[in-house]
Each structure stands twice: as structure tokens, then as C-alpha cells.
Chains A and B, each alone.
Chain A
């Protein structure tokens, strides 16, 4: 059994990560996935959420991604997402402001079209995940 696998995280702006890792956890469309080296070929859509990576040297890293797709093939896991941010780069202030904005939007839900409503809800979810992740780095709160 191979000990490591390759992880690539690709966004429209850049290739965020291209490294050998020991395990990856991410949110799939139908629940949480944990992928270990040598996993069978797999493909799924992913939800906005946290990706937890364990490197070869047991270092852990977390990043927040928006929705996208995951493909496991030839011992390489490729996450293709719209956007991604490493936990240490999350701007808590901005996330809080985004949350406030989204809540404000949702408060007037009567006047929103269904698409606007969906978008506001997605924005709120993103802001909350971002904050949880940002706080966790600070040592308070938990992800799940």
C-alpha cells in the first residue's frame, strides 16, 4: 500500500496546492469524505467547506474552498473549486462583514427572487465557515 498520494487543488485564479499528502478530508455533496492513499477512482461534487490536509510529516493544514468537484484517479486527488483560501489567510473581519451583509439580505427575503435568496444563503454559509475556520486557528470554537 502506498503511503502517500498526490493532491492538487485548482482554482480559476491559481493552482493552490500541488503536493504529496497522507490524507485529505473534504465536504462532498452527500457528506464528508476522507481520502487515503490508494483510494479507488472516485468522482463527486463538493460543497463549500473546509478541506483538511495531513502532510507526510504529520503537519496539518486547513483551507476553505467553495463548491467544485473532486476526482481521485491514479492515486492523485484533484479538487477543482471556484475559490480557496488557506486558513491562516482568512480575514476574520471581512468574514464578519460578509455575514452581516448576508443576514441583512436574508432579512428582506420577501422581496428577493429565488436566485437572490439562494445566493444570499450561500454567502451566509461561506461567511460562517470562514469564521469558524479563522477562529479555530485562534484556538477557540470548533469546526463541526
Chain B
């Protein structure tokens, strides 16, 4: 005898706030773009810092953390250590994100307070993940990547907190040294490595792919890990060779990852190009575009190339990878909560029936156009074009919020 446990599907009321808030933060990030004049766009502008934190913490991390409440047991094949801890994560992360954004825009004294709140939220998350990983007897590739990415996040957040103290003037720190390490640890070490590691489970699961080798992903993860260590060492010991070796290794690792994704795509049995597949295809081509522009920047030193590369990485690769998975995760959780008890008793919907066809398509089309237009606008440093692209993104992000509510309220 066995009973159905909730180990593999936490209560939806626990996870839904992450997705709802995440979608609103996505919308807020898009609105923020309208208030960034093109001439203000430099890598070290505090308005850009505010924008990046609003988008990364509020949308990307918020949605990833919510998804992890569902995905950790799926990937680790054990139940959570304490899934209830997720009730504390989203309010703290939301409040901390808002405080930090306001801090960057106009009140630097808010930064350390917002930083503490974010730090607590993320530390609760990391602690829960580590204690869950501890329950696993043998680690597979996906589990190792989760351990690696959360270790990077741990150090990345601490560096970020130290920087928030430095920005507000409470302590004296070398911001430039910490900044590079913070960015690389959180963005590459956590977000990118998490997406890479989860791919080996999620892409074959949804595409019904079999018979592909995991070796390219393993190599890509090793390259990413070494690249992050090299960039950290270069930051603290001022060794320029390590810095460039780190960048080159990261780019090579991401191309290797792209090759791995392509092998999964080729071996998939399920050929249907639904909103999930479309989102991921756009996401991965954005990754390649971002890498090519990054290489262009290393060769030419033209800063708009770096900014446009970052834009494609954030709003192209990250955003579409996240939104694509939202269209899989929310319907599953809602279905599990509302319809699984009715199986065998009455007709229940398929997961695909729970997708909002029109608003998901609108989100995809408007956001894809917006991402490309803004990327070009950044290269041309054209303010009107940036606002034009942001208008498309605004339409798309409203459609995304609508899609999230449609799926959550599906009855």
C-alpha cells in the first residue's frame, strides 16, 4: 500500500504568491524602463542598479524560488526539509526588493535595511535547500548543480549585502572589487547555473527526450564553476589574465550548454511547439545573441554592446526561460490541487486546456518584439526606440499578469 503524499506538490496557496508577485514585478520592471533616459544608460548608474534589482530579485528570483518549492522534490527525489519556510520567503523578498529599488533610485540609506531583509529571505531559502539536499543519498548531475548554484548564491548575497552597507556609507568597502564578484556569483553562479542544471530534468520531461548524453552539460557546468572562481580571484588579487580567462570560459561553457540543449531538442518525441517550447526557443536564441554581443564587446570595447548583451541575457534568456516554465508549473499545481481528486469520478481537464491561449500568445509576441527592439535601441542609443520597445514589453507583461491570474483561477 502507498498513499499519495504532498511531497512532490506543495500546497498551491504556498506557491501562488511567488508567481503573482513575480508577474507584477515583471510588469513593474517594464514600467521602470520608461523612466530611464537613453543618455543615462551606463553600467554603473544607480538607476540601472535599481532596475536590475527590481527585475532580478522581484521577478526572476521570486519566480525561481516559487518554482523551486515545486521543483526541488522533483529534481532531488526527496521531500522538502521544511516547505513551510517558503511562507516567510516571499514577503521578505518582496519588501526587501522594493526597499532596495527605492534605495538605489533616491534614498541610499534604505539600501542596508532592504539588503538585510533580502539577505534574510535568501538565507532562509538557501538553508532550506541545503537541508533538503542533505537528505539525498547519491547526488546526480542536477542535484550537484543545485548544490553548486546555491553555494554561489550564498556568497553572492553576502557580497551584495556588504555593498549595500558601503553604498549607504555605513562601512568602507571597495565597491568595484565586490561588484564584479557579486554580479558573477548571483547572475552567472546562481541564475544561469540553476537554469542549466534544471534543464537536464525539465527539458527531457516535457519534450519526452531520451538517449542524449549528459556529458556536454557536465562539461559546461565545470566550465561555469571554474570561470566564476577565476573572476572571483581576479577581483580580489587584481589578476587581469584570470578575469579574461574567466569571461572566455563562461562564454565557452554557455555555448557548450546551448549544444546540450540542442541535443535534447533533436531527441524529443514531442514535436508540438506550444507556448512552453516557443518561450524556450526564444530564450536560447537570446542567450546566443547575448554571448555574441559579449564577445563583440571584448573585441571592440564598445559599451552599448555590453549593455545590449546584458539586456538580451536578462529580458531575453532569463525572462523567457522563466515565463515558459510558469506556463507548465502553474497549471500542474492548480490541476493537482483542484482536479486530481476528481480523476475517475468526473471528466477533468488536461493541463494544456488550462493555458490561456490568447494572452499567452500575446505575451510571447509582444515581449519578443519588445526585447529585440530595445536591444537594437540600446546599440543605437536611441531613446525613442527604447520607449517604443518598452511599449511592446508593457503590452506583453500585462498579458503575462493576465495569464498568471487565468491559470490560478481556472475552475
Partners in one complex: no
